[in-house]
Every structure is written in structure tokens, then in C-alpha cells.
Amino acid sequence: MDLHYYDTLIAVADDCPVPHSEVPRERAGKRTVAGLQYEMLADAPHTLTQEDVLFESWLRRQDPPPAGPDEVARLRHEFFARSQACLRASPLPKRHGFGLLFDSAGRIALCPMESARYQELLAGDEVTVLKAMRSRRA
């Protein structure tokens, strides 16, 4: 099953609480899912796929961490054997004001909602635009 988006912008949710993008902060001294995903995508734009981001953000929160590549491979297989929410449910476009831009290979880059590029993508037909899931019912 292909979990990737191609040539797609996941736009900021309609009920996003911030007027411009903001870097996620730690909560109670721990990194959040949003913080982990932000670090991965900000450090390596158009490198990771949706599956990479979903699995790695889950894996980095495991305590204790897995002991070696064989265990990581087993955990990845088990992780995707169950249904997973896509990045439309990520806190980055839902609460932190970052669009997620997928290229033709399904790799992701952050696209801040206040950027000219984000506005161009929303207004044009260069990519498919999907809204992030709302936090609350309409």
C-alpha cells in the first residue's frame, strides 16, 4: 500500500491557531511529535518520505531505543502492518502553521504559511492542494 503523496501540498488546517508558522517547543522538557517532525524536515528538505517521517517520529519516542538495525527493521514492518494516520493529521500543518510540500518522488519539505512560495502553491495548479485535518469539528 502506497502511503505517499506526490506533487502535493498539505495546506495548513482551517482552524490552525497561529497566524504564521512557529517552531514547535518542548513540552515538560520532552520533545513532542511536532518537534521531532520539524527537526527531521527542517534539517533535510526533500529527503524523507511520509513513511520515513511517521516511523522515525514514533521510533525516536521509544524508551528504550531499539538495539540495532535488525530490530529497527522488524519494528518498521510491525509499525506499517497497522493502519497509520497520514501527515494530514500531523501537528505541523494543524497547529504550527507549516505546509508540507511533497515533490514528484514523495519526499517532503516544510513550507511556512507566510512564505511567498506557500501562497503561490495555494493559488496555482502546480501541485494538488489538500487541507490538513481540522483539530475541531466544523
Q: How many CB atoms within 10 Å of residue 28? A: 5
CA pair distance 81, 100, nearest whole angstrom: 25
The closest alpha carbon to 91, from 48, 116, 54, belongs to 54
pLDDT for 1 equals 52
Q: How far apart are CA 112 and CA 21, in angstroms?
A: 5
Task: For residues 92-121, give the mean pLDDT.
Answer: 97
Give per-residue burial for 30-69: e unless 16+ CB within 10 Å, then b: ebbbbbbbbbbbeeeeeebbbbbbbbbbeeeeeeeeeeee
Q: What is the pLDDT of residues 92-101, one digit of tens each?
A: 999 999 999 9
Mean pLDDT of 25-30: 89
Residues in the chain: 138
**Alpha helix positions (H), the chain:** 33-43, 50-59, 69-81, 91-95, 116-123
This prediction has a pTM of 0.91
Predicted pLDDT of residue 31: 87
Q: What's the pLDDT tens digit per position in 76-93? A: 999 999 988 899 999 999
**pLDDT for position 2:** 65
